[in-house]
Amino acid sequence: MHAAVEFQHISKRFGAVQANHDVSFAVGSGSIHGIIGENGAGKSTLMSILYGYYRADSGKLLLNGAEQPIRNSHEAIRLGIGMVHQHFMLVENMTVLDNVMLGSEGSFRLARKRVEVAASLREISTRYGLDVDPLARIGELSVGIQQRVEILKQIYRSAHVLILDEPTAVLTVQETLSLFEVLRLFKQQGKTIILISHKLQEILDITDEVTVMRGGTVVASLATASTSKEELATLMVGRPIETQLPRAPYAPGATVLEVTDLQLTSEQDVVLLKDINFSLRAGEIVAIAGVSGNGQSELLEIISGMRLPTSGTLQLAGTPLPIARRKDADGLPAQFRALGIAHVPEDRLRDGIIKDFSVLMNSFLGYQKQVKKRFGLLDFNAILLQCRALLHKFDVRPANPDLRIALLSGGNQQKVVIAREIAANPRLMLVGQPTRGVDIGTIETIHAQLLAMRDAGVAILLVSVELEEVRALADRILVISGGRITGELKAEEFDATRIGLLMGGLHKS
């Protein structure tokens, strides 16, 4: 098998940050090649060099044995390289067809070209089992189908090397299995796939070879069949990973949150939440398990003050939260934070950070009234000291408070958000998908911090689609399906099959 892509001594620096250093490895033609590493290990930077977003400071790129200095993404596309990003590059109010044609519409015979492209997309969709309607509007499609649109776009552009950056980070189990079927079909047809993932079991399930990066360098390239999850985890982090984190015995205290008869109906009269009743006590983690899109996001938005329910009540330590008889949720999130409700949102880019702000500014975003002041103004010296301490405690890389947070990897952005919310010393912590798209070392760090909060008496409501995460953290498990709670289990009753049935709508009765 010859190499479809070969990296030879690639190095890339951004100011003081050495993103890649002397990276060399080859990707076999017609194979699925995994690239793993901690957040900030240099994986995405390396793929951005291959796709033409960045130019390497030194080193060579070879495609099918010939050196190719790729200067921009247009050249990469012309050479048959396609990239599906973790955050999709799609315009939501346009159709699939319009998104595929965007940027290459041409000025003449547009109507005829639309007909030709639509026919081509239907043929590609059928050939690869993508099941995508070219005339569907992007905003009306599920996340899994939107990802298929991105793949369809790359195939239409004649990509024979396909890069996928964390493709399963926002997919359900069923969507992931479907994606892997598509990737195996690509491989059968001779296409080369480069898969960046933090999920080691997926790497073992789907790839032929795997390259491990750490600190911007390659530490190993292995045949997947000859390695194990434990070996890969140790290579990624540089030390063995703790799979069983210490936790105090389960001894919950007083009720912190009481949710009673919560209902939510959309403006289109779609029932999003119905008859939601549960309580959450100090010193316990209650996890809500379910397939994405079954009401858990709306529930977190209501409890954090971002959204008003149609009816129902919330009580914090016996006191009703001010949601009744309001016209909108303006100002509620700030009020809820002041009452001791912290929130790690499911979508950190949309709700958790401001990308153009520095790490320092994001480290107290939303808590401006609570941070230390001097002469009535923000005491930036004190804020800087706290920010540096948080970056050190949560192992944020690079630990530079002045860096624009958009320059951090997704996992390190997530560490900043979680550090900020923990530093507020809440009595109720709402956590949505805390380890989505982060590496195994960061998962260990985040889990350890959440368990420490639980042991210190904080009430934690966790929403996660990862059943292994639910198993690792939860004292009690609520399963949600179709906006209703279909079952409740204690931690010792954890049963993936039973939970799967409840997630599919089989009610507890």
Task: Collapse the DSSP code of 253 into the 3-class scheme (helix H, G, I; strand E, B; otherwise coil) and give the result.
Answer: coil
Convert 271-306 into a string of H (helix), E (strand) and C (coil).
Answer: EEEEEEEEEEECCCEEEEECCCCCCHHHHHHHHCCC
Does 106 fall in a domain?
yes
Q: Give the end of a domain, one of 402, 423, 444.
A: 423
Q: What is the pLDDT of residue 141?
A: 85
Q: What is the pLDDT of residue 388?
A: 96
CATH number of the domain where residue 464 is located: 3.40.50.300
Pair (137, 247) in one structural domain? no
What domain count does the chain have? 3
- Which of the residue ranges 33-37, 211-215, 296-300, 505-509 would you say has the lowest mean pLDDT? 505-509
AA identity, residue 206: I
Give the number of other Cβ atoms within 10 Å of residue 11's Cβ: 18
Q: DSSP of 443-479, one letter per residue?
A: HHHHHHHHHHHHHTT-EEEEEES-HHHHHHH-SEEEE
Q: Give the end of a domain, one of 178, 209, 237.
A: 237
Checking if the pLDDT of 162 tops 80, the result is yes
Closest CA to 61 of 4, 6, 3, 2: 6
- Which of the residue ranges 76-90, 94-108, 226-240, 338-352 would you say has the lowest mean pLDDT? 94-108
Measured between alpha carbons, how far is 164 from 88 in angstroms, rounded to an integer? 11
Pair (191, 320) in one structural domain? no
Convert 102-167 into a string of H (helix), E (strand) and C (coil).
Answer: CCCCCCCCHHHHHHHHHHHHHHHHHHCCCCCCCCCEHHHCCHHHHHHHHHHHHHHCCCCEEEEECC
Q: DSSP of 177-210, one letter per residue?
A: HHHHHHHHHHHHTT-EEEEE-S-HHHHHHH-SEE
Give the number of other Cβ atoms within 10 Å of residue 131's Cβ: 11
CA pseudo-torsion sign 412, 415, 417, 419: negative
Q: What is the pLDDT of residue 221?
A: 96
Pair (414, 453) in one structural domain? no
Return the exposure string of 38-68: e unless at least 16 CB atoms fall within 10 Å of the residue's CB, then b.
Answer: bbbbbbbbbbbbbbbebebeebebebbeeeb
Pair (419, 431) in one structural domain? no
Q: Which two tokens stand for residue 20?
A: 């890649």
The confidence band for 104, taking pLDDT boundaries of 50, 70 and 90, is low
Q: What is the pLDDT of residue 105?
A: 59
Pair (371, 390) in one structural domain? yes
Pair (161, 307) in one structural domain? no
Pair (248, 165) in one structural domain? no
Does 444 fall in a domain?
yes
Does 347 fall in a domain?
no
Does 153 fall in a domain?
yes
Q: Which residue has the tokens 């076999």?
A: 28
Q: Which two tokens stand for residue 57?
A: 């400071």
Measured between alpha carbons, how far is 5 from 82 in angstroms, rounded to an integer? 13
* DSSP code of residue 500: H
Q: What is the pLDDT of residue 509?
A: 46
Return the exposure string of 354-369: e unless at least 16 CB atoms fall within 10 Å of the residue's CB, then b.
Answer: eeeebbbbbbbebbee
Q: Is 259 exposed, middle or buried (0-12, 13-18, 19+ CB in 10 A)?
A: buried
Categorise residue 195: left if φ over 0, alpha if ψ from -120 to 50, beta otherwise: beta
* Residue-number span of the structural domain to which 211 is assigned: 3-237
Does 301 fall in a domain?
yes
AA identity, residue 299: L
Does 376 fall in a domain?
yes
Pair (49, 196) in one structural domain? yes
Pair (230, 272) in one structural domain? no
Q: What are the pLDDT digits (tens) for 2-49?
A: 999 999 999 999 888 899 999 999 999 999 999 999 878 899 899 999
Half-sphere CA count of 497, side-chain side, radius 13 A = 0
Those residues whose C-beta lies under 8 Å from the C-beta of residue 168, and which sit 6 or more positions away, are: 175, 176, 179, 197, 199, 202
User: Which range has highest mean pLDDT (127-141, 213-227, 233-247)?
Assistant: 213-227
Q: Of 11 and 508, which is predicted with more confidence?
A: 11
Pair (314, 393) in one structural domain? no
Are 399 and 391 in contact by the 8 Å Cβ rule? The answer is yes
Pair (455, 387) in one structural domain? no
Closest CA to 276 of 250, 292, 291, 257: 257
Task: Over range 280-285, report the average pLDDT.
Answer: 98
Give the number of other Cβ atoms within 10 Å of residue 417's Cβ: 22
AA identity, residue 197: S
Does 490 fall in a domain?
yes
Checking if the pLDDT of 345 tops 80, the result is yes
Q: What are the pLDDT digits (tens) for 385-435?
A: 999 999 998 888 889 999 999 988 888 899 999 999 999 999 999 999 998
Pair (432, 446) in one structural domain? yes
Does 349 fall in a domain?
no
Q: Give the end of a domain, one of 379, 408, 423.
A: 423
